[in-house]
Amino acid sequence: MTVHDSNLMETIIRCKQEKGIYIIAHYYQRDEIQDIADFIGDSYAMAVNARNSDSNIILVAGVDFMAESAAILCPGKTILSPEPAATCPMANSIKTEDILRFKEEHPDGLVVSYVNTPAEVKAYSDICCTSSNAEKILSLLPAERPIFFIPDQNLAGNVSSKLARSVTAFPSSCPIHAALTREEIIKKKQDHPEAALLVHPECDPAVVELADYVGSTAGILSYTRTSPLQEFIIATESGIRHAIWQYRPEVRLIMASDEMICPNMKSITLEKILYSIENLETVVTVPEEISKKAVLALEKMIELTSN
Ligand code: 13P
Ligand code: SF4
């Protein structure tokens, strides 16, 4: 870490304390951002933590759908984004028209929306899910109702095959996770026979099949915390390594591919966070008519997950 970074971090910590700003970050954030955050989590934990926080100003260091979820779940609180252009191409690929078409063809259908979706798509969804609870949510939905699982076809395929439940998947995927190939992974496993392979469910089912553990970023972190192993092949975004090394600094973490870097997550910097908390910009808002419908899908997810 440079002297410039540590000075910035000190200034951010002082400024957020003076203004009572609470910083929530995703595990894919840069190391130095994870270090100044008050809470670091996967997308589910970030949403629940924002909702339960007693701070009136929350800065979300993550992509736009994460800040939107916080804004929807925390009416009356100020949600700040340090980089509103940080987005998720997969989330943006699904449109409300896609949902309306499904509902027209399947009037009794249910729309399960991964949190990686814009607020207006959540407003048309019956329930949200994240990678940490998708399996549980899907297992609790009535067996006779057709399911439209949006927008990640890999998560849809991985969860539905585990539950032997067929779903209609929207044909989109995360460009970072979906790019990993089975051949690459087989080679990594040959090169590192002692390592456990930990895979995010946004990866292709052909990759997931080879995994020793499949789960959300929080799941991967907790697996490494309790495993007796010393080597892990990581098939998710590179930022998770910093979080793992906080608990297990001695372990060897081998990236499944050097390309697993989300440019949107990495577009957030310490400089942008300092600007955001000094100027209280950019405030994330969701129109009330969208928010009051989208909150139902998010709250339903939290209700089913916490029971
Ligand atoms: P989780 O942190 O919920 O595993 O999600 C991964 C992701 O890609 C978020 O954009
Ligand atoms: Fe979207 Fe993939 Fe980046 Fe997550 S890692 S924000 S799913 S592009």
The series of mean pLDDT values per 10 residues for the chain, 307 residues long, is 91 98 98 98 96 96 98 97 98 98 98 98 98 98 97 98 97 98 98 98 98 97 98 98 98 98 98 98 98 98 94
Residue 153 near residue 167 (C-beta atoms within 8 A): no
Residue 223: give the domain boundaries: 182-255
What total of structural domains would you count in the chain? 3
- The pTM assigned to this predicted structure is 0.96
Are 277 and 294 in a shared domain? no
Residue 217, ligand 1, Cβ within 6 A: yes
Residues in the chain: 307
Whether residue 107 lies inside any domain: the answer is yes
42 alpha carbon – ligand 1 mean position (Å): 6
Are 142 and 197 in a shared domain? no
- Give the model's pLDDT for residue 17: 97
- Give the model's pLDDT for residue 307: 81
- For the CA of 116, the closest atom of ligand 1 is 10
Are 95 and 168 in a shared domain? yes
CATH of the domain at 50: 3.40.50.10800
Are 157 and 200 in a shared domain? no
Are 295 and 225 in a shared domain? no
Are 13 and 79 in a shared domain? yes
Residue 23, ligand 2, Cβ within 6 A: no
Whether residue 260 lies inside any domain: the answer is no
Are 9 and 143 in a shared domain? no
Are 167 and 295 in a shared domain? yes
3 alpha carbon – ligand 2 mean position (Å): 30
Looking at residue 234, its amino acid is I
136 alpha carbon – ligand 1 mean position (Å): 17
Residue 193 near residue 169 (C-beta atoms within 8 A): no
Are 215 and 250 in a shared domain? yes
Whether residue 41 lies inside any domain: the answer is yes
Among the bound ligands, name the one nearest to the CA of residue 215: 1
Whether residue 194 lies inside any domain: the answer is yes
Going by their DSSP bridges, the two strands 168-169 and 127-129 should be labelled as unpaired
Residue 265, ligand 2, Cβ within 6 A: yes
Are 299 and 169 in a shared domain? yes
Residue 260, ligand 2, Cβ within 6 A: no
Gap between the Cα atoms of 44 and 51, Å rounded: 11
Are 298 and 153 in a shared domain? yes
Residue 237, ligand 2, Cβ within 6 A: yes
Are 83 and 94 in a shared domain? no
Residue 93, ligand 2, Cβ within 6 A: no
Residue 169, ligand 2, Cβ within 6 A: no
